[in-house]
Amino acid sequence: MRHFALIGYSLTHSQSERLFYEQHFPDADYRLASMPSLKGLRQWVKQESISGFNVTIPYKQEVIPYLDALSPEAETINAVNCVVLENGKLIGHNTDAPAFQQTLVSAHWPLADNAFILGTGGAAQAVAYALRQLGIHYTMVSRNPDVHPGSISYSDATFQSSHFTLIINATPVGMYPNIDQTPFCLSSFSYPCPYLFVYDLIYNPSPTRLLREAAALHAQTKNGLEMLRLQAQLSWRLWHLN
Ligand code: NAP
């Protein structure tokens, strides 16, 4: 039996375990490993004979010092969401970026030329990498723009919002159980707003409050479910499960 897992804190929102077992992979199991800290990570991998694991909020960047090497993409993005144990070494990969890129392309949104990325964490870095691959200009929005060079504040983003045709939520704001929250107020967009595309990486709940408010403006919307499935499939491939 090969053992796989998802590490993060906390994991109440996660659907990764259900997705894994839907595949009926032979001789493989998957568990949710909620970790308040990464201190004992390498020992846990050894003790539990883990062959590979996914990484979620809040550890996609914090996990890097615990690994032995990174794929070129993970190194450029500076975030890891999939780890493979290869010859005793922990190798970090990023499957969020290709998954996001593919799902954005499949949405066939011709007006996506200027994007806001809400958040500056691991998922936001993967989204930024994918947008660079697609030649889409973006600006990151942060609560602390002073510590994230190149990012702007939420009040500046609201002020500039009429120049943007794509908003991507890469923060956990609005995620279960805090479903009444929204990361960005859309009141500066005038109704109707068919040129706007709002992509929320959150998949639980679906739709989020952000997506409900975007739909009320007649904007195009997309939740994180397709991306979740795709990044999982790419992880399974790295673990040689399919
Ligand atoms: P993370 O590394 O913890 O980063 C989240 C970023 O969001 C932070 O860096 C922070 O940026 C911002 N943020 C955090 N709390 C906030 C708050 N209360 N208000 C406003 N901004 C806040 O998390 P992550 O791993 O990037 O994941 C972010 C979200 O994307 C999660 O909901 C996750 O489930 C989702 N996700 C979905 C998929 C998928 O396949 N659908 C894949 C990856 C991630 P600032 O400090 O700069 O403001």
**Residue ranges with strand state E in 142-234:** 166-169, 197-200, 220-222
Specify the CATH number of the domain 2-95+229-240: 3.40.50.10860
Question: Residue 109 — pLDDT band, cuts 50, 70, 90?
Answer: confident
pLDDT number for residue 159: 93
113 versus 216: the higher-pLDDT residue is 216
Task: Indicate the top mutation candidate among 171, 175, 180, 202 to test ligand 1's pocket, ranked by most ligand atoms within 8 A of CB.
Answer: 171
Q: Do domains 2-95+229-240 and 97-226 have the same CATH topology?
A: yes
Does domain 97-226 correspond to CATH entry 3.30.70.360?
no
pLDDT mean over 105-112: 83
Q: Kindly report each contact of residues 144-148 with a partner whose C-beta sits within 8 Å and lies 24 or more positions away, as own/partner.
A: 148/120
pTM, two decimal places: 0.96
Question: Residue 242 — pLDDT band, cuts 50, 70, 90?
Answer: confident
- Is pLDDT of 110 > 80? no
pLDDT, tens only, 50-96: 999 999 999 999 999 999 999 999 999 999 999 999 999 999 999 99
- Is pLDDT of 111 > 80? no
pLDDT, tens only, 122-137: 999 999 999 999 999 9
pLDDT mean over 32-41: 97
- Is pLDDT of 112 > 80? no
pLDDT number for residue 113: 81
Give the residue whose CA is nearest to atom 43 of ligand 1. 123
- Tell me, in angstroms, the distance from the centre of ligand 1 to residue 11's CA: 14
pLDDT mean over 179-189: 95
Dist. CA 162–CA 133, nearest whole Å: 24
Dist. CA 215–CA 121, nearest whole Å: 26
pLDDT, tens only, 148-170: 999 999 999 999 988 899 999 99
Instruction: Please report, for the chain, the start and end positions of each structural domain, with discontinuous segments joined by +.
Output: 2-95+229-240, 97-226
Dist. CA 20–CA 233, nearest whole Å: 9
pLDDT, tens only, 191-235: 999 999 999 999 999 999 999 999 999 999 999 999 999 999 999
Question: CB within 6 Å of ligand 1 — which residues?
Answer: 56-58, 60, 96, 119-124, 142-144, 148, 170-173, 175, 183, 201-203, 224, 227-228, 231
pLDDT number for residue 12: 85
Catalytic: 39? no
Examine residue 110 and say whether the peptide bond preceding it is cis (omega within 30 degrees of 0): no
Dist. CA 53–CA 169, nearest whole Å: 24
Dist. CA 186–CA 178, nearest whole Å: 19
